[in-house]
Chains A and B, each alone.
Chain A
Amino acid sequence: MIITLFIPCFVDLMHPQVGISMVRIFEKLGHKIVVPEGAACCGQPAFNSGYWNEARTSAAKVLAQLQDAEAVVIPSGSCGAMVKNFYPELFANTPQVEAARKLAAKTHEFSSFLVNQLGVTDLGAKFPHRVTFHDGCHGLRELNNKRPPRQLLAMVRGLELVEMGAAETCCGFGGTFSTKFPEISTAMSEVKCASALETKAEYVVSCDSSCLMQIKGLVNKQQKPLKTIHLAEILAQS
């Protein structure tokens, strides 16, 4: 299969390892990878801020770039939900609505693509660490993606998953919310991290680099003993 990767802006710039891991994983499974030039912003920041016209400008480019893809995979529940759930709403009553629906149908978040589309759970990865998992809100509630990441983690050699009490609680990031209301965002993050720390895990794992950026930003500032890692990076370890 030819898999088109959609690598969001902040993953490209700040977490390239996530993209690289995905390339390795899919190539190992015998698929061909394409990364289209010039598609890095799904338009979510503008969309969530209420600027739907501006979001459409962004999204229209993505739509054009990805329309011929066989399958599109995104390493983020949040950007995934944007393309899968909100593009059809964003383009409602425009000529592009059909294209948006088609794209939504063939777009997948990384972990659910592996489990539900490719039927793979064991990638032969090894990661001998105690970890806890953070459910990114969009992956969990917009895409209903509770099980796939856990099915994948269950097959990683040496990995011990300890669930935290607040696994489904928001990390407090929320895009522009994190800088518009930094105090609330930080308080939410503190609640999240306190729960993660209680598990005595070495790592917080998630399918969303944006959540991890928030968690890591806080624990590093407060010098708490906790590291963060994206699920793709674990699955690429051998």
Chain B
Amino acid sequence: MSAPATHFKEASRRMAADLRHRRIIQTAMVKYETVRDQRKLWFQDWQGARNLAARTKFEAVNHLDQYLEQFVRLIESRGTKVHWAGNAEQGREIIFNILRAKNAKVVIKSKSMTSEEIHLNDAMVAAGYEVAESDLGEFIMQLRGEEPYHLVAPSMHLTRGEIQDTFAQKLNETTTDSPEDLTMLARRVMRRKYLQADVGITGANFAIAETGMISITENEGNARLTSALPKTMVTLVGIEKVLPRYEDLALFLPMLAVMGTGQALTCYNTQYGGPRQPGEADGPEEYHVVLLDNQRTLLLADAEQRDTLGCIRCGACLNVCPVFRNVGGHSYGTVYAGPIGSVITPHLRGLKQWKHLSDASSLCGACTETCPVKIDLHHHLLQNRRNASAPTAGKPGFFQKLAFKLFAVVANHAALWSLTTKLSRLGMKLRGLVNGSFFDPTRAWTKTRELPPIAKQSFREWLKEREL
């Protein structure tokens, strides 16, 4: 088993039995589902909106070269410096070069999963920069030294008491455990950082080709301040984030809000098209946009799963996923958890190491049913399983293959099947001898569940008897 697979096995086993975690997450998700469903009704035709969103993303992704070219040309024309990063290392290096050139000491960040993907924070801290995550959830996770638990809600697995303790330990500040007081404490701390920061780094939700702008969606105003106060602004964005037209936002912004948090619209949806322009009161002197590939073109080359590049990282598939809800975000061991993570991580980081994530699903399809851009998530899990068992993928599960072959022959052969029927009754009797022990072949099932008995008379036996 690969190291990530071992981690997943162990972590998921532990979390699945953690009833406290289950209660916290179930409560949060049920709350989410209620508001989300109300918002969906607000649309005249939610399913119609999903179709339009899927169509738009299909168009964008399948003409990625054109739209990307247009986006870059326009945003450059307003004085933005665009950088290209083929992989994570190049991405970090580009940003380090900017930090060095600006002689930066303090960096403020707003939420960016792409920066998590290239492990930017750790690298910056290791290089001696003072880095502050400004999004409240991310800030809490940074203080605790944990990875974000969820794409949209990084600290959703924590209770107010735990957050109060974290603040007390790491900030040396005491407040009550009321969410209001805790938030105001973070606000005070972060305000100092905005004012001190030399460079602000943001992520992006969309890159608009038609107008050459980055669009950032957030509730707290932390990205607004990150891009307003420091003298240098950097946006890290995956190359797949392009939308063709400005008006496409009119569809995507409300859909993202509804699916992400159950809001009609997130508080701040802001487009940035360059550094401070002539005549403007403020804004950064320099604006850098770093476009990241990091295996996205590999995903693009897979025509079957190319639609995954349309993902708007709304987190809805995580929220409805019964596996995610029971094992939690940290068990996955990868930045992108939940169904979308299980689908794309094998492409981004290697099928051999990460195929277990595609196995860890009952293929219930709740993710596909909810995805606002209609990514065929659970079928992609199935395709990953197929790809993993292909001879080119390494060791082709010889015994499992043989077992399936044998079963196919037996089950679809009348005489053999009737023999099997009799043998399985014998087997059930014999199992009694080893019941529940290490030697019990059904142990994985019977540890927590009872095994149904083989009927005294099978259906086919009944049918035969009747016909006589």
User: Is A49 interfacial (CB-CB < 8 Å)?
Assistant: yes
Is A174 touching B364 in the complex (CB atoms < 8 A)?
Answer: yes
For the residues of B in contact with A, the DSSP-based class is helix
A186 to B445, CA, bound (A): 9
A178 to B389, CA, bound (A): 19
From residue B250, how far is it (CB to closest CB) to chain A in Å?
29
Is A49 touching B22 in the complex (CB atoms < 8 A)?
Answer: no
From residue A149, how far is it (CB to closest CB) to chain B in Å?
17
User: Is A182 interfacial (CB-CB < 8 Å)?
Assistant: yes
User: Is B419 interfacial (CB-CB < 8 Å)?
Assistant: no
User: Is B421 interfacial (CB-CB < 8 Å)?
Assistant: yes
CB contact between B22 and one of A165, A187, A216 (< 8 Å): that residue: A187
Is A13 touching B454 in the complex (CB atoms < 8 A)?
Answer: yes
User: Is B385 interfacial (CB-CB < 8 Å)?
Assistant: yes
Instruction: Look across to chain A and name the residue whose beta carbon is closest to the beta carbon of B320.
Output: A169
Is A137 touching B364 in the complex (CB atoms < 8 A)?
Answer: yes
A23 to B449, CA, bound (A): 30
For the residues of A in contact with B, the DSSP-based class is helix
- Which residues of B lie under 8 Å from residue A186 when comparing CB positions? 16, 448-449
User: Is B170 interfacial (CB-CB < 8 Å)?
Assistant: no
From residue B170, how far is it (CB to closest CB) to chain A in Å?
32
For chain A, the count of residues having a C-beta within 8 Å of the partner chain is: 68
- Which residues of A lie under 8 Å from residue B382 when comparing CB positions? 47-48, 50
Is A38 touching B413 in the complex (CB atoms < 8 A)?
Answer: yes
Instruction: Look across to chain A and name the residue whose beta carbon is closest to the beta carbon of B323.
Output: A184
Is B421 touching A187 in the complex (CB atoms < 8 A)?
Answer: no
A43 to B409, CA, bound (A): 11
- Which residues of A lie under 8 Å from residue B326 when comparing CB positions? 184, 187-188, 191
User: Is B407 interfacial (CB-CB < 8 Å)?
Assistant: yes
User: Is B191 interfacial (CB-CB < 8 Å)?
Assistant: no
A69 to B22, CA, bound (A): 48
Instruction: Look across to chain B and name the residue whose beta carbon is closest to the beta carbon of A54.
Output: B404
Is B458 touching A220 in the complex (CB atoms < 8 A)?
Answer: no
User: Is B26 interfacial (CB-CB < 8 Å)?
Assistant: yes
- Which residues of A lie under 8 Å from residue B347 when comparing CB positions? none
Is A214 touching B363 in the complex (CB atoms < 8 A)?
Answer: no
Is B361 touching A16 in the complex (CB atoms < 8 A)?
Answer: no
User: Is A198 interfacial (CB-CB < 8 Å)?
Assistant: no
- Given known A-B contacts A16-B457, A174-B363, A191-B22, A182 and B448 have beta carbons under 8 A apart: yes
A178 to B451, CA, bound (A): 12
Is A182 touching B445 in the complex (CB atoms < 8 A)?
Answer: yes
User: Is A213 interfacial (CB-CB < 8 Å)?
Assistant: yes
From residue A28, how far is it (CB to closest CB) to chain B in Å?
15
A155-200 interface with B by 8 A CB criterion: 165, 168-170, 172-175, 177-189, 191
Q: Report which residue of A11, A40, A178 has the largest number of chain B beta carbons within 10 angstroms of its beta carbon.
A: A40
**Which segment of B147-155, B260-268, B305-313, B365-373 sits at the interface?**
B365-373
- Given known A-B contacts A13-B424, A170-B322, A187-B16, A177 and B362 have beta carbons under 8 A apart: yes
Is B365 touching A218 in the complex (CB atoms < 8 A)?
Answer: no
User: Is B439 interfacial (CB-CB < 8 Å)?
Assistant: no
- Given known A-B contacts A20-B459, A186-B16, A186-B449, A58 and B411 have beta carbons under 8 A apart: yes
Mark contacts of A1-39 with chain B using CB atoms, 8 A cut-off: 1 yes-contact digit, 0 otherwise. Answer: 000000101011111111110010000000000010111
Is A38 touching B412 in the complex (CB atoms < 8 A)?
Answer: yes
- Which residues of B lie under 8 Å from residue A122 when comparing CB positions? none
- Which residues of A lie under 8 Å from residue B389 when comparing CB positions? 49-52
A220 to B450, CA, bound (A): 7
A38 to B22, CA, bound (A): 44
CB contact between A40 and one of B404, B411, B452, B455 (< 8 Å): that residue: B411
Is B404 touching A46 in the complex (CB atoms < 8 A)?
Answer: yes
User: Is B408 interfacial (CB-CB < 8 Å)?
Assistant: yes
A150 to B363, CA, bound (A): 24
Is A172 touching B362 in the complex (CB atoms < 8 A)?
Answer: yes
- Which residues of A lie under 8 Å from residue B409 when comparing CB positions? 57
- Which residues of B lie under 8 Å from residue A191 when comparing CB positions? 22, 26, 322, 325-326
User: Is A147 interfacial (CB-CB < 8 Å)?
Assistant: no
- Given known A-B contacts A46-B408, A57-B408, A188 and B460 have beta carbons under 8 A apart: no
A141 to B388, CA, bound (A): 25
A160 to B12, CA, bound (A): 38
- Which residues of A lie under 8 Å from residue B453 when comparing CB positions? 14
User: Is B327 interfacial (CB-CB < 8 Å)?
Assistant: yes
- Which residues of A lie under 8 Å from residue B22 when comparing CB positions? 187, 191
- Which residues of A lie under 8 Å from residue B457 when comparing CB positions? 16
CB contact between A183 and one of B16, B26, B414, B417 (< 8 Å): that residue: B16
Q: Report which residue of A13, A165, A217 has the largest number of chain B beta carbons within 10 angstroms of its beta carbon.
A: A13
- Which residues of B lie under 8 Å from residue A185 when comparing CB positions? 362
Is A14 touching B455 in the complex (CB atoms < 8 A)?
Answer: yes
Is A214 touching B364 in the complex (CB atoms < 8 A)?
Answer: no
From residue A119, how far is it (CB to closest CB) to chain B in Å?
27
A175 to B407, CA, bound (A): 15
Instruction: Look across to chain B and name the residue whose beta carbon is closest to the beta carbon of A23.
Output: B463
A37 to B417, CA, bound (A): 10
B432-468 interface with A by 8 A CB criterion: 444-445, 447-455, 457-463
A41 to B405, CA, bound (A): 11
Is B448 touching A49 in the complex (CB atoms < 8 A)?
Answer: no
A17 to B458, CA, bound (A): 9
Is A20 touching B462 in the complex (CB atoms < 8 A)?
Answer: yes
Is B368 touching A141 in the complex (CB atoms < 8 A)?
Answer: yes
User: Is B277 interfacial (CB-CB < 8 Å)?
Assistant: no
CB contact between A16 and one of B359, B407, B462 (< 8 Å): that residue: B462
Instruction: Look across to chain B and name the residue whose beta carbon is closest to the beta carbon of A12.
Output: B459
- Which residues of B lie under 8 Å from residue A202 when comparing CB positions? none
- Which residues of A lie under 8 Å from residue B385 when comparing CB positions? 48-50
User: Is B397 interfacial (CB-CB < 8 Å)?
Assistant: yes
Instruction: Look across to chain B and name the residue whose beta carbon is closest to the beta carbon of A37.
Output: B414
User: Is B360 interfacial (CB-CB < 8 Å)?
Assistant: yes
27 chain-A/chain-B pairs, Cβ below 8 angstroms: A12-B458, A14-B452, A18-B459, A38-B414, A40-B411, A50-B385, A52-B386, A52-B389, A58-B407, A58-B412, A65-B412, A141-B364, A141-B365, A170-B362, A175-B362, A178-B445, A181-B359, A183-B17, A184-B323, A184-B360, A186-B448, A188-B322, A189-B449, A191-B326, A217-B445, A217-B452, A221-B448
- If A40-B412, A221-B450 are given as contacts, then 14 extra A-B residue pairs at C-beta distance below 8 Å, sorted by A number, are A14-B455, A16-B459, A18-B459, A47-B382, A49-B404, A50-B389, A141-B369, A174-B362, A177-B359, A180-B360, A180-B444, A183-B13, A188-B322, A188-B362
Listed from nearest, the 4 A-B pairs whose CB atoms lie closest are: A174-B362, A217-B449, A50-B385, A41-B411
